[in-house]
């Protein structure tokens, strides 16, 4: 049998995603200040093979080439992130003119190519000066973030038609502050919960600041996936429920319902009820990043399960992620389960009902390290997009899809070991080579517009 053509119609929006620290390089140029990721990468043993984002894909200097690749790909929209330390080197005070000028050039180049810019304000690269003052454990950072949003709206609102506040606050909370596997490398355990609250409050304050500055069409990019109990035992079901609240609903309920999951608000700092009214400032759309489901059970103490993405978890947790067997895996070891993609979208619709705004898939993709002939990435994208198409047919309002990522890039603590790009990057020469998946995605976009 021939598979049904994979087309979404002319109004569906197609994009690709990147982030500043993963591709820009030029970390000491143009007046940019140090970020927590610069500091983290400089600490021995933090990043695989001692890799850093100092050069990355050299996008700061090669952005025109990358815009041309996107133009030829045919995407409608490009999701990138502003580098906070490039805009405000210390995270406070007046803007850095050279930083603003760089994003002027990028945005104008995109518009000239017929591509709409869709920037994210924050993709984990906190200015180091703010981290030295407490970082995301400090409530003061929410005021700094609102000031930063005001600067960006004042400069770019006239040309940017789509905005995102914060990328995946769950990852910075858990990997950056709770277990220390990402920058800033702190290991606070459950004492990291204020980091979640402050990111959510910063999100709400940024939405308000952007709108006050003339920006519109604002959302968030939040990571979500199904949590599956390891068994039907009460212990495993309870552990999975706690994990699900911690990684999913802790970050979506406050934004969409104005409340924390049961009992979690008591762990948060500040005037929580007042803050929730800011956090739940209505959005124009909700951005959902999705990669893979997680199997969770009650703790067994098995050291083989005490890690996530290779990052060790502390002992004594009330839950335990388990290997999910029986599915193909990406080269990062993540299970390939298109049905889980559909499941999390249906769960959002059921959980939030009329409170759920239109959805954009702001990240989805896979690490496939097969070079330019990346048929396994094509197979992955085909499966996940077919699942997405079925969800849309079931009357869930998904307006667009951003593939992660345009380019192979710096993959955080995994360094350059994992390749997510539609375009292969030779990091020694910076030569870009479109992969088979690039051509497949281009053909899909073309077909969808017919």
Burial 196-232 (b: 16+ CB within 10 A, else e): bbbbbbbbbbbbbbbbebebeebbbbbbbbbbbbbee
Exposure of 194 by Cβ count < 10 A (0-12 exposed, 13-18 middle, 19+ buried)? buried
Q: How many helices, marked H, and strands, marked E, lie in the chain? A: 15, 15
Note if 266 is an active site residue: no
Q: Give me the catalytic one of 24, 168, 320, 411.
A: 168
Which among 24, 320, 343, 363 is annotated as catalytic? 363
Non-local CB neighbours of 19 within 8 Å, separated by 6+ positions = 80, 81, 120, 123, 124, 125, 167, 409
Q: Do 32 and 99 form a contact (C-beta atoms < 8 A)?
A: yes
User: What's the angle, vertex CA 231, arms to CA 230 and CA 234, rounded to 5?
Assistant: 110
Query: How far apart, in whole angstroms, are the C-alpha atoms of residue 188 and residue 250?
Result: 17
**320 belongs to the catalytic site:** no
Question: How distant, in Å, are the alpha carbons of 161, 222, 390, 421, 423 from that of 440?
Answer: 27, 27, 20, 13, 12
Give catalytic residues, as residue numbers.
Answer: 168, 363
């Amino acid at each position: 049998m021939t598979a049904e053509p994979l087309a979404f119609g002319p109004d569906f929006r197609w994009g690709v995603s990147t982030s500043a620290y993963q591709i820009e390089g030029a970390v000491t140029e143009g007046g940019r200040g140090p970020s927590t990721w610069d500091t983290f990468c400089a600490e021995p043993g933090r990043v695989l093979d001692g890799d850093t984002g100092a050069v990355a894909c050299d996008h700061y200097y090669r952005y025109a080439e990358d815009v041309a690749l996107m133009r030829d790909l045919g995407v409608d929209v490009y999701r990138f992130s502003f580098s906070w330390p490039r805009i405000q080197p210390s995270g406070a005070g007046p803007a850095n003119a050279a930083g603003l000028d760089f994003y002027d050039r990028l945005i104008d180049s995109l518009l000239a190519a017929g591509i709409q810019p869709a920037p994210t304000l924050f993709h984990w690269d906190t200015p180091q000066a703010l981290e030295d003052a407490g970082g995301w454990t400090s409530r003061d950072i929410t005021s700094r973030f609102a000031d930063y949003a005001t600067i960006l709206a004042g400069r770019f609102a006239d040309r940017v038609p789509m905005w995102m506040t914060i990328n995946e606050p769950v990852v910075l909370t858990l990997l950056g502050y709770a277990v220390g596997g990402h920058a800033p490398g702190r290991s606070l355990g459950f004492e990291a919960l204020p980091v979640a609250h402050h990111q959510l409050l910063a999100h709400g304050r940024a939405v308000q600041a952007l709108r006050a500055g003339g920006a519109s069409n604002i959302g968030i990019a939040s990571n979500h996936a199904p949590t599956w109990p390891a068994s039907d035992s009460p212990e495993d079901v309870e552990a999975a429920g706690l994990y699900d609240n911690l990684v999913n609903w802790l970050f979506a309920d406050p934004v969409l319902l104005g409340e924390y999951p049961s009992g979690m608000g008591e762990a948060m700092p500040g005037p929580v009820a007042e803050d929730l009214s800011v956090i739940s400032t209505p959005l124009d759309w909700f951005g959902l990043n999705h990669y893979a489901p997680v199997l969770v059970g009650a703790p067994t103490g098995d050291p083989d399960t005490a890690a996530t993405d290779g990052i060790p978890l502390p002992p004594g947790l009330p839950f335990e992620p388990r290997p999910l067997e029986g599915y193909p895996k990406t080269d990062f070891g993540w299970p390939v389960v298109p049905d889980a993609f559909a499941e999390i979208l249906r769960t959002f619709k059921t959980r939030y009902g009329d409170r759920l705004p239109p959805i954009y898939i702001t990240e989805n993709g896979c690490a496939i390290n097969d070079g330019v002939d990346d048929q396994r990435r094509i197979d992955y994208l085909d499966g996940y997009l077919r699942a997405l198409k079925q969800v849309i047919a079931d009357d869930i309002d998904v307006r667009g899809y951003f593939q992660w990522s345009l380019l192979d890039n710096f993959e955080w603590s995994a360094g350059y070991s994992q390749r997510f790009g539609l375009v292969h990057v030779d990091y020694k020469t910076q030569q870009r080579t479109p992969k088979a998946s690039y051509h497949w995605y281009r053909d899909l976009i073309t077909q969808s517009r017919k």
